[in-house]
Structure 1
Amino acid sequence: MISLVLDIGNTAAKYGCFDGAALAEAGSVASVEELRAVLRRTQATHVLLASVAVPAEEWAAALVGEELEQVLVFKPGTTPVPLTNAYATPQTLGADRLAGAVGAAYLLPGRPVLVIDAGTCIKCDLVTADATYRGGSIAPGLRMRLQAMHAFTGRLPELPLPAAAEASQLALCGNDTRTAMLSGALNGAALEVNGMIASYRVEYPALAVVLTGGDAAFFESRLKGRIFAVSELILLGLHRILVLNVG
């Protein structure tokens, strides 16, 4: 079976094309027209759409007329998933958070896993060893931190996020306003995530940590202990959900 999953986020719509269980291709699309082109080129027959931005139903409706056997919209509150969802308000749970948890439970079965998704927001989500999604935390992402300092003050400048190479050399003690802001945003976020990991490890000594998301490169060398970096974690989780729901 050739299948395609689409993760519609706040900054990009990322797709993964699977040939059986193997991820054959991944990329991003900016419109339904581009998605149609990918579908025709890959000859995918089953599609799962998930979104934390615009309603995924809008993309699904636009695929009417394509030669597809099944088009599914992932809804965390109602769509069956291959783990137990203990979130108190599943209807408000982001599709990306649950998909990441599914992907982590699939890759590291039988042990507690903390998923660090560093994107528009920094999300830390826990899956326990019994394959139960427990929830987690949501905090401002790196760009959001920099933008907030500019938006809520009178004199701090608006700074772009630096390239990963520059960020890796960022000193703890900034010696001008720019480097002080970057240190607060980047080093502060890394210390925050390390603190989260340390706190979870007190309760779950066998905890594994999986890092994903568009800003993962900023954290990979800054997090303590062994970290599994899986860039396509959410796509993998969405594919596992699709396989479970294929009728």
Structure 2
Amino acid sequence: RALREVFNTEVYIVGEHFTVPIKNRYFSPRQVGQDRLVCAYMAMRLYGAPVISVDLGTAITLDIVSKDKAYLGGIILPGLGLSLSALTAHTALLPKVAPDRAKSLIGRNTRQSMLSGITFGFGSMVDGLIERLKKELKGSPKAVMTGGDSLLLEPYCGKVDYFQPDLILKGMARLTRNFLKNT
């Protein structure tokens, strides 16, 4: 409603006004977030299927599209900022640290150590999950990285095939254009 009032324009909502054109094989299809479907759909449109979309935001999601172009589901983890906030909130001596690139694997002070854990640790985790997913899926899936923290984590992820920081925005633009063309 606020967008409609501020910009004096019609607002269209994915899942309400139009749906993401992808077969959804999630056990409970209504539980999967529309952002995850848009991300997986656009990764498939740009890079083919099978594909793994890796979205780095408040949460980290890895979403899988099968070789027959169906959304299978994925993995959800806490994001970098959320993880750093949890460390600060639930430990006595760890300071508040904003996500940033680590300069070396071995931190020489607490801030550097926390940044090393977040960047190298999450980069290794994403790489490990991509590797496991590629083994489980048939057809050599490509991995596409996107999201707000993708610019930060990209140098630490060696198993990502494509880097597209604004994949969801591109997907939303494409879906909205298609919707408006057909109305």
The TM-score normalised by the length of structure 1 is 0.66
Aligned residue number for residue 31 of structure 2: 92
Q: Which letter does structure 1 place at the counterpart of 2:125?
A: E
Q: How far apart in 1 are the matches of 2:6 and 2:42?
A: 26
Aligned residue pairs, count: 180
- Pairwise CA distance, 1:64: 9.0
Q: Cα distance 1:60–1:175, how it changes in 2: closer, same or farther (>3 A)?
A: closer
Q: Output the CA distance in 2 between the equivalents of 1:212 and 1:90.
A: 23
SS, match of residue 75 in structure 1? coil
2:73 is the alignment partner of 1:135: yes
Runs (4 or more) in structure 1 with deviation over 6 Å come to: none
SS in 1 for 2:94: coil
Deviations along 1:128-165, one digit per CA (max 9) or x if unpaired, are: 12111111111111111111101011111111222xxx
- C-alpha separation between the residues in 2 aligned to 1:191 and 1:226? 11
Matched, 1:160 2:98: yes
Match of 2:158 among 184, 200, 224: 224
- Structure-to-structure mapping, 1:198-213, within 5 angstroms: 198-204=131-137, 206-213=140-147
Report which of the two has the higher share of helix. 2
Cα distance between partner residues in 1 of 2:8 and 2:60: 38
Match of 2:15 in 1: 75
Q: Which letter maps to 1:183? A: S
Which residue number in structure 1 is paired with residue 103 of structure 2? Answer: 170
- What 5-or-longer segments of structure 1 have no aligned partner? 1-57
Instruction: Supply the RMSD in Å over aligned alpha carbons.
Output: 2.2
Quote the Cα distance in structure 2 between the aligned partners of 1:171 and 1:89: 43
What letter corresponds to residue 201 of structure 1 in structure 2?
K
Structure 2 unaligned segments of length 5 or more: list them. none
Alpha-carbon distance, 1:63 to partner: 6.7
Looking at structure 2, the residues matched to 108 and 65 of structure 1 have their Cα atoms a distance apart, in angstroms, of 36
Q: Deviations for 1:95-127, whole angstroms, at most 9, x for unmatched residues?
A: 211111111111123x21111111111111111
How far the C-alpha of 1:65 sits from its partner, in A, is 5.5
Secondary structure in structure 2 of the residue aligned to 1:72: coil
Give a deviation string over 1:62-83, Cα, whole Å, max 9, x none: 37954x5xx421127x843221
Tell me which amino acid in the other structure corresponds to 1:81.
V
8 Å CA contact 1:190–1:223 kept in 2: the answer is yes
Partner of 1:184: 117
Distance 2:25 2:6 in 1: 33
Higher normalized strand content (fraction of residues) = 1
What's the TM-score, normalizing by structure 2? 0.86
Seq. identity, %: 33
The residue number in structure 2 matching 1:50 is none
